[in-house]
Each structure stands twice: as structure tokens, then as C-alpha cells.
């Protein structure tokens, strides 16, 4: 778990850096592109808009679910740029964690005055 904590710290640091430079109020896609670029530049294996299938009757079905950013094949990042996070946002991350059997997710809301207020850690 220590390596996952180190990875999480790197991602949070990168998210804070993106937020400091761009500020709140932009579209989610702008933050996603910048965070993806920065994490990739730091040498992390990152996948953007990673499809995640649903398993039904032992068959994997592509239903259009996509993880905003998947880091090192284990950390789910769900990015938002909303006035306030709600239960549906948390449920979305939990669903991705369960469907992909990932240990940890970060729900990152960039539409806040201070980025640390927009970071929620979600454990599977």
C-alpha cells in the first residue's frame, strides 16, 4: 500500500499544480488534458478515457463506461468541474473501482477555490 500512497501523493501534487496554473471555472476536459500531460511527463503510465466493460453472465460487455484517467493500472481518477460534488459522483467512482477491481480512486473537483478542498479519496 505504501507505493499506492506515494502514487496518490504524486497525482495530488500534479492536480494541485494544474489547478494553480489554470484556476477554477474551466471545462473538465481542459483539466483532464493538462493532468494527463503532466502525469505522463513525470514518467507515470497513464491511460485517458479508459474503457471499462461490465461483466454479465461471464461475458464482458462494452457499455460506454470510461475512466477519465487510470494511473499505473491501479489508481482511478474521476475529474469534475462542478459547483458541488454529490452522491452520484462518489457512486460513479465506486462503480469503476468495483468493475475494474481497482484498489483506490480519487474524485477531483477542479471548480473550487483551493484544490485540496476538491479532492476525495475513495477506497474499494
pLDDT in tens, 72-124: 999 999 999 999 999 999 999 999 999 999 999 999 999 999 999 999 999 98
Q: Which residues lie closer than 8 Å to 2 by C-beta, 6 or more apart?
A: none
Per-residue pLDDT, 2: 57
Q: What is the pTM of this model?
A: 0.94
pLDDT tens string 53-75: 888 888 888 888 999 999 999 99
Query: Rg (Cα) of the chain, in Å, rounded?
Result: 14
Number of domains observed in the structure of the chain: 1
Whether residue 107 contacts residue 85, with contact meaning beta carbons closer than 8 Å, is answered with: yes
Domain range enclosing 91: 2-123
From CA 3, how far away is CA 105, in angstroms rounded? 14
Amino acid at each position: 500500500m505504501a507505493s499506492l500512497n506515494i502514487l496518490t501523493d504524486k497525482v495530488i501534487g500534479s492536480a494541485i499544480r494544474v489547478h494553480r496554473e489554470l484556476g477554477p471555472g474551466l471545462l473538465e476536459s481542459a483539466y483532464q488534458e493538462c493532468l494527463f500531460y503532466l502525469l505522463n511527463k513525470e514518467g507515470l503510465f497513464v491511460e485517458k478515457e479508459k474503457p471499462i466493460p461490465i461483466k454479465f453472465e461471464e461475458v464482458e460487455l462494452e457499455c460506454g463506461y470510461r475512466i477519465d484517467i487510470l494511473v499505473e493500472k491501479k489508481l482511478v481518477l474521476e475529474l469534475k468541474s462542478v459547483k458541488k460534488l454529490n452522491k452520484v459522483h462518489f457512486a460513479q467512482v465506486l462503480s469503476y473501482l468495483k468493475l475494474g477491481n481497482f484498489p483506490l480512486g480519487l474524485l477531483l473537483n477542479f471548480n473550487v477555490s483551493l484544490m485540496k478542498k476538491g479532492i476525495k479519496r475513495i477506497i474499494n
